[in-house]
Amino acid sequence: MWNAPVDASGEHELILAVHTDSSSGQFCYTYRWHGIEHTVAPVIHMQRGEHFAIRIVNDIASQSPGENVPSTSIPPCKPMVMPKVPVQHWIGYLNHTTDDRFFRIKPLDTNLYLHGFEGPASEENIFLSTLSTPMHACEYHITIPRTQPPGTYVYHPHAHGAAQAEMAGGLVGV
């Protein structure tokens, strides 16, 4: 992954910390590259078959320890807790019925979704919660499938109930 730093387990790793600006309410990714801190979402260049790690660190409410510990110290993330809301039924295209639960929560949790990623869901679990560990960080180990079509893909948070506010607030990259 384009000369990314190597983590404690020996794989290339990008550490993306999610921050919020207290005055504007806007979100941003920050990361360090060759000793310089950047506050924009990095463009991630990958090749088919390449393997890398992305650590999402939740610094939304306060500074978490997840940025400054070895990758081997990050416990596995668990699924986020979903609020109990009533199921809504929708009749859509060709009278297809959709059952869904809509809810909004204050954007305090975050995670990662690689839009268009064709690898296994276990590598890119959209239900993980950065708040499920004491480090407030989730480590994603990704292998780009050899069958992945070339293209420009988008990554963004997928924390249910908060993703729309986080994406509109600035958490989107390619």
Which of 20, 31, 26 is closest to 63 using CA atoms? 20
- For residues 54 and 9, the answer to whether their CB atoms sit within 8 Å is no
Which of 174, 172, 171, 173 is closest to 60 using CA atoms? 171
Q: What does 18-39 look like in DSSP terms, one character per residue?
A: EEE-TTT--EEEEEEETTEEE-
- For residues 172 and 165, the answer to whether their CB atoms sit within 8 Å is no
For residue 62 the two structure tokens come to 């306060």
CATH classification code of 13-168: 2.60.40.420
Residue range 4-46, pLDDT digits in tens? 778 888 888 999 999 988 778 889 999 998 889 998 899 999 9
CA–CA gap between residue 136 and residue 69 (Å, rounded): 11
Residue range 60-85, pLDDT digits in tens? 999 999 999 999 999 999 998 877 87
Count Cβ neighbours within 10 Å for each residue of 128-159 and write b for 16 or more, e otherwise.
bbbbbbebbbbbbebebeeebeeeebebbbbb
User: Does pTM surpass 0.75?
Assistant: yes
> What are the residues facing 173 on neighbouring strands?
155
Q: Residue 142's pLDDT band (boundaries 50, 70, 90)?
A: very high
Q: How many CB atoms lie within 10 A of CB 14?
A: 21
- At position 118, the amino acid (one-letter code) is E
